[in-house]
């Protein structure tokens, strides 16, 4: 009698391979799912949205327009030819980069000066060779024309520096007379 009771006391709860498989499954797989569930619970808490520290900035970023308009002061005084040269043209024309004629190089500018002031300004505004178009950059067309006159005059031309557009409309006969006098004085020298 005591033998049967003694044998049952030393046996475990797992009596066959199916029970062993179920015990293994529940002891390893179920805790993994429990951990995943806890992680999801902790990370699903409400978090402040991006920009919550500064809601005005976040709203401004969300409703920002696709394009931007830059308004320039039309009443600012026009830059001189030298200032435009230093600001935009000197990068290439001071060093002769990409075949650009150097400032005050009379031999390099001679053929270009013969084409006339209007042709030089057109080349500067529309681009020529390796030179990109300068129209619409930091300077307006009149300022680019002033830079062209400055560079050509440094190489021996006698071009008059263009006047401001409003002044040119008011004194068109005087501007035409100055433009006609410049080639005549260049030819006489």
Q: Which tens digits make up the pLDDT trace of 126-169?
A: 888 878 787 556 778 888 888 888 888 888 888 888 887 764 44
The CATH classification of domain 81-188, taken from the options 1.10.760.10, 1.10.10.10, 3.30.200.20, 1.20.1370.20: 1.10.760.10
Q: Indicate the helix (H) or strand (E) that contains 92.
A: helix 90-93
Residue 137 CA, chain-centre distance (Å), reads 13
Which residue ranges of the chain lie beneath pLDDT 70? 1-10, 48-52, 70, 72-74, 135-137, 166-189
3-class secondary-structure state, position 131? strand
Alpha carbons 185 and 35: distance in angstroms, whole number: 94
Residue extents of the structural domains in the chain: 12-43, 81-188
């Amino acid at each position: 009698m005591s033998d049967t009771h003694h044998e049952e006391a030393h046996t475990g709860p797992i009596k066959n391979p199916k029970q062993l498989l179920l015990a293994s499954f529940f002891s390893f797989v179920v805790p993994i799912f429990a951990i995943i569930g806890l992680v999801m619970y902790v990370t699903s808490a409400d978090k402040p949205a991006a920009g919550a520290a500064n809601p005005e900035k976040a709203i401004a970023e969300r409703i920002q327009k696709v394009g931007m308009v830059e308004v320039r002061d039309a009443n600012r005084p026009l830059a001189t030819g030298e200032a435009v040269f230093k600001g935009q043209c000197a990068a290439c024309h001071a060093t002769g980069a990409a075949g650009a004629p150097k400032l005050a190089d009379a031999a390099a500018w001679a053929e270009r000066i013969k084409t006339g002031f209007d042709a030089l300004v057109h080349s500067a505004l529309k681009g020529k060779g390796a030179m990109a178009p300068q129209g619409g950059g930091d300077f307006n067309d009149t300022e680019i024309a002033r830079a062209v006159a400055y560079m050509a005059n440094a190489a021996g031309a006698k071009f008059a520096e263009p006047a401001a557009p409003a002044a040119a409309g008011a004194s068109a006969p005087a501007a035409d007379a100055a433009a006609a006098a410049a080639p005549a004085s260049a030819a006489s020298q």
